[in-house]
Structure 1
Amino acid sequence: MPLTDAVSNPPWANAAIFVTAGIVVWFAGVRLTRNLETLAARLRIDRVFVGMLLLGGITSLPEVANVATASVMGNPALAANNLLGSAAINVVLLAVADAWLGRPAVTGIVARPSTMMMATLCMLVLIAVALAITIGDLEVFGVGVGALAICALSIGCFRLATGYDARSPWRIETDEIERGTKDAEDTPVATPALWLRVAIDGSLIFAAGYALSQTGDAIAEQTGIASALVGFALIGLATSTPELATILTALRLHRPEMAFGQVLGTNFVNLSLILLGDALFAGGPIINELGAFEVVSALLGAALIGIFLVGLLEHRDRTVLKMGYDSAAVILLFALGLGLLSTL
């Protein structure tokens, strides 16, 4: 039952592969987060940096596989909607984790200003995506100017957010930063062995995430769900499974900055992949294949991040149904946005 032709598999077989891959992604994501937390404590690496670059980059591997496959097969809308769906769903997963753990509001325990900088910049990139789709794109040297600009903007914003804590004029009390953030207990495992474990877990996430995206696409086609909604909701959720595992683990380790950094760092990486899809799609600029559905998707992701940004600025521990007010608003807005998207 090859994954490259998953539609020919029986629905029960695709469902079994989907569930198995999800379990693999979950356990690999948990181990990945714990190993990276140990490395960060041992090597004194900033947790925001670990979340943005290492966790964000590794958990974006399923999106790389899905975007490449969909673009080569001539379905750029599926590729783009996977990226935009993941960008929104990743933010929702923060709210879900907030409710799941039932601890103080997640935005009430984040103390580093770099988190707010990342949120603001990620909103700008998503708005730029919506603007590019509205205006249209021009092809230069085989790729779209808009796709190239979005990739450059994503990388630039990623770079700007890195190290912002050191440059920021904000002054946060030391006890607030360290409140409830004891270093993870170091293990006797040597540092090279820890890096090897990270590589193994990343490989498992890539392989299982690819299986999730392919079987999820096949299940959607077999059940007759609209292609755009498939890319945004089902495939976006499937390829975001690693993020849920890593977010929950980071929050259990009392590392909210790592959780936010992982979500927003993943979004930066994912949005830059529009250029990859553009380069692999033979039908012209990928942005010209998109429309109102993708514009609303991008703006929905920006609005969800904006709600959390307000919560970060308020910095209060106000909860409802065991989650922060902002988390509840994120889940509600996402549900309304999904309803709107289903009508487009």
Structure 2
Amino acid sequence: MASVEFSDLLVVVGCLAGLVVAADRFLIVGAANLALRLRMSSVLVGVLIVGFGTSAPELVVSVVAILEDQAAGTELAIGNIVGSNVANLTLVLAIPALFWRGGVKFEKGTPPEARSSLVAVCLFGGALLLVHYGHIDASHGPHMWMTGVVLFLCGFLLLTVKKFRSEWGGEVPREVPGLFNAWTRTLVGLIGTVGFAHFLVSGATNIAHDLGWTSGFVGFTLIALGTSLPELVTVLAAARQGRTGLILGNLLGSNLLNSLGVGAVIFFIHGVERFEAPSELPVFTIYGMMAVSAVLLVFLRVISRDRIDSREAVILLLLYGLLLGQMVVSATG
């Protein structure tokens, strides 16, 4: 019977505690103070600072996995991004909506940026499907993908800054710490969150290998959940402190960079010809990621518009459970 090293379990538990402290006491407080000092919308801070910062684990894990483990590393990296996007759009968003009274209410003006983020997820999924079915090859795939990603990211950032520029201005409350203090607190929180996430993923990977799980399964489950922990912890901290503007901003920035930034790096470094048949990551997970994006967009634009309530949170959790269950059946069957 396979056994797990006690040291790996200790690393996982310790890093979980560190993540909570780094995100709750430093990252969220610093980002909120920074928003006030710079007279920004908290959603904009969430997209540019918190969201992009908490996506760093996905980038680091994916690049290291590809460079060190070649084909198996690519399976793990793709599984990581697909699983992380699914977890962000279901678990990370649903948990605070389920436990906080009234659900999670978003600031006015958020849905257009939500569309951009969800479109990014679908673009990444579409690219994977084109590779899977053989419609993209190495002769034109990586460079065109990379160029498109850069253009889309630049366009999104410009539109976001333009949209929220009108919200800048006003008095800065006297009790808000200085700009240097806010930047320092935010930076320390980002470094701590990313660092603890890195060691957490390392310990979880060792445990998975000890148990004999495949790279695609590890990427979609343990690695994705591990690299999504910064998002989950920051979202919970923001909800607890009543700073709900950071919640969707965090997920917008994170999923956008996961799909178009980290996804582009995967294509660029490894080349699409190396994963034409992702046997360890079933194609239904890619369709599932895109379906979750569509469901969430319906929630935001048609059903409740400015909030995710407990009923919608349950639906999101059920969707995640369905995909995870299918992944387990596929990996063990």
TM-score, length-normalised on structure 1? 0.80
Letter in 2 for 1:50: V
Offset of residue 111 of structure 1: 4.0
The residue that corresponds to 2:28 in the other structure is: 33
Identity of aligned residues (%): 25
**Post-superposition offset of 1:299:** 3.0
The alpha-carbon distance between structure 1 residues 254 and 122, as it changes in their structure 2 partners (threshold 3 A), is same
Seen in structure 2, the aligned counterparts of structure 1 residues 264 and 133 have a Cα distance that, compared at 3 Å, is same
Residues 64-103 of structure 1 aligned to structure 2 (within 5 Å): 64-73=59-68, 74=70, 75-92=73-90, 93-101=92-100, 103=101
RMSD of Structure 2 on Structure 1 (CA): 3.1
Q: Tell me what 2:314 maps to.
A: 328
Identify the residue that residue 222 of structure 1 maps to in structure 2.
210
Instruction: Show structure 1 runs of 4+ deviating over 6 A.
Output: 183-186, 316-319
- For the 8 Å contact 1:86–1:237, the answer to whether it is kept is yes
Residue aligning to 1:110: 106
Aligned residues of 2:194 and 2:230 also touching (Cα < 8 A): no
Question: 1:278 aligned to 2:267?
Answer: yes
Match of 1:121 among 111, 116, 125: 116
CA contact (8 A) 2:15 2:197 kept: yes
Separation of aligned partners in 1, 2:118 and 2:12: 31
Whether the 8 Å CA contact 1:311–1:326 is kept in 2: the answer is: yes
- Tell me how far apart the structure 2 counterparts of residues 236 and 19 of structure 1 sit (CA, whole Å): 17
* 2:128 is the alignment partner of 1:133: yes
Report how far residue 60 of structure 1 moved: 1.1
Identify the residue that residue 178 of structure 2 maps to in structure 1.
190
Contact preservation (8 Å) 1:76, 1:289: no
CA displacement at 1:15 relative to structure 2 = 1.0
Q: CA deviation at 1:10?
A: 5.8
Segments of structure 2 that go 5 or more residues without pairing to the other structure are: none
Q: Which residue of 2 is the match for residue 6 of structure 1? A: none
Cα distance in 2, alignment partners of residues 243 and 85 from structure 1? 13
* Secondary structure, aligned partner of 2:253: helix
Letter in 2 for 1:105: G
Are 1:49 and 1:162, in contact at CA under 8 Å, matched by a contact in 2?
Answer: yes
In the comparison of the two structures, how many residue pairs are matched? 314
Q: Secondary structure at the match of 1:162?
A: helix
Q: CA–CA distance in 2 between the matches of 1:130 and 1:317?
A: 26
Tell me the equivalent position of 1:178: none
CA distance in 1, matches of 2:46, 2:39: 14
Unaligned regions of 5+ residues in structure 1, if any? 1-8, 169-173, 175-182
Q: Does 1:232 align with 2:220?
A: yes
Distance 1:97 1:198 in 2: 22
Between the aligned partners of 1:147 and 1:285, the Cα distance in structure 2 is 14
Q: Is the 8 A contact 1:138 1:146 kept in 2?
A: no
1:289/1:18 Cα in 2 relative to 1: closer, same or farther (>3 Å)?
Answer: farther
Aligned counterpart, 2:278 = 290
Distance 1:295 1:61 in 2: 25
